[in-house]
Amino acid sequence: MKIFKFSREVKVGILTVVTLSAFVWSYNFLKGRDVFRKQRIFYAVYDNVAGLMTANSITINGLNVGQVNKMYFYPGNPERVVVEINMSNNVPVPSNSTARIFSSDLLGTRGIQIIPGDSPIMAQSGDTLISAMQLSLQDEVNDMVEPIMRKTENLITSFDTVLNVLSDIFNKETRDNLTGTVLSLRKTMQNLESSTLAIDTLVDGQKIRLARIISNVESISSNLKDNNANLNRIISNVAILSDSLAQADVAGTMGKVNRAVSGLNSIVQKIEQGEGSLGQLVNNQKMYNELETASRELNLLLEDMRLNPDRYIHFSVFGRSPKKNQYQQPLKEIE
């Protein structure tokens, strides 16, 4: 049997090919690529990759299915970044699936999470998936802390303003006034305590009278309750009287009274002015004196007629003697 012998050059060539193959396989293995499986390439376009790096993992439901192959700016639009996703398995990916950048650990390491959609059409290699961005833990904490920081700053500013205002308000004069006010309040409380003690003493001393008063009040209340029917009748009568007064011509009656008073005032005014007999009698002293004299003489005449009736009335067949029972001056006038 003939044994083939390779020359040194062929051996070196074979060793070089094997070494390069091992290096390429090791390099791809270290990058997570399986050179013995078919690779699928998907794309996603983002406004900001937010710390995503080449060779970061691609996961579906937490299972690593690939890695980020490369990243570059969108042609003609440097404001957007294209991420090339390399998947080395045959997991079906619906065409409306979302490639979301997320934080894979607490240190902020970024990765892409494929969220499968519900489309019946599967994405093919070279398709572009829907892009999305999840805030990192640091970003979420910053978003949560930032409003708190703003509120804290505003609170500190307000507190500083309040302190300045309080410093301006509570000067020496104000503190002295507050001290005086506290002393006045203390004295007021002492006075209230003394008044309360006096009231307690008074109440204790007047318990019997208070009980009697309460008993009287209860008696009055009982009487009112017993005479409820009478009170109702009285109220009804008052209501009837009020209705009668409302129906009466009070205005007309008051008008007549006013006219009568006016006439009486006119008569009194005429009497005061001396008009008429009654006015002359009231205001003319001479007339009053003459009437008084006439009244006195009339009384004297009536008294003489009572004492000597035969002087004025007589019955005689032969006539009356003129010298008999002549008029004589009364001894004493009737006063």
329 phi, psi to nearest 5 deg? -65, 130
3-state secondary structure of 9: helix
CB 74 within 8 A of CB 81: yes
Mean pLDDT taken over the chain: 79
Alpha-carbon distance of 180 to 165, in angstroms, equals 22
Most confident option among 33-42, 221-230, 286-295, 315-324 = 221-230
Backbone angles phi, psi at 149, to 5 degrees: -65, -40
Per the model's pLDDT, the better-predicted residue between 194 and 248 turns out to be 194
230 pLDDT tier (thresholds 50, 70, 90): confident
Give residue 334's pLDDT: 46
C-alpha 160/C-alpha 241 separation (Å) is 76
Binning pLDDT at 50, 70 and 90, where does residue 1 land? very low
Q: Reply yes or no on whether the pLDDT at 320 is more than 70.
A: no
Kindly state the percentage of the chain with pLDDT values over 90.
Answer: 9
pLDDT, mean of residues 247-252: 72
Q: What is the pLDDT of residue 88?
A: 78
Band of pLDDT at residue 82, cut at 50, 70 and 90: very high
- How far is the C-alpha of 271 from the C-alpha of 282, rounded, in Å? 7
**Tens digits of residue pLDDT in 31-81:** 555 555 567 899 999 998 878 888 888 898 888 888 888 899 998 888 899
The answer on pLDDT for 6 being more than 90 is no
Highest mean pLDDT among 117-126, 141-150, 284-293: 117-126
pLDDT above 70 for 28: no
Which pair of structure tokens corresponds to residue 96? 């409306």
Structure confidence at residue 326 as a pLDDT band (50, 70, 90): low
Domain ranges of the chain: 37-140, 284-335
In the predicted structure, residue 85 carries a pLDDT above the cut 70: yes
